[in-house]
Amino acid sequence: MEEESSARKVMGNYLKIIDPEEVTEGFQPANPATLEVTKMVMKELKRNQFKGDDSQDPWEHLINFKETCALQKRTGKVTDDQKKLFLFSYSLARQAKDWLYCLPARTIETWKDLEEKFLEKYFTKSQYDERKAELLEFKQERKESLSQSYERFKLLKR
């Protein structure tokens, strides 16, 4: 009798979802919106996907992403924040997309919230140290005008 009540569970039983509400539908911002994404914008988002490995610069990805977002027209009462939050998942792949889909649903209120979480995750200490060293060691190059040097410096600060 006692054996029946304490039946052994096999590993597969732990993987079964008991509550269908537990199934994630992917990243869900707190104030979601829906857009009809143009083919050109979708192509650009896919072409510049961030995968989450150390070889990619998260700041550069965000700059490219914002440029692509500017190509997508807003419809109705969709805000710029909602547009970026809607499109961001299309700009990610592999580990980065997995990370996004693991964020708790409806915890991201604004684009700034998501941007900060993204940089916390993917702007590594080594990337920070490298940028800091470049800024601290910055010098005007030979035969470089002051304005050219200043433009190069501004690019480093981004």
pLDDT for 49 equals 95
Name 96's bridge partners. Answer: none
Which whole number is the average pLDDT over 101-117?
89
Low-confidence winner among 8-12, 95-99, 138-142 (lowest mean pLDDT): 8-12
Which whole number is the average pLDDT over 140-153?
87
pLDDT for 116 equals 93
pLDDT for 113 equals 93
Cα distances from 89 to residues 26, 74, 133, 156, in angstroms, run 9, 17, 32, 27
Model confidence band, residue 45 (pLDDT cutoffs 50, 70, 90): very high
For residues 16 and 36, what is the distance between their CA atoms, to the nearest angstrom?
35
Which whole number is the average pLDDT over 103-123?
89
Model confidence band, residue 39 (pLDDT cutoffs 50, 70, 90): very high
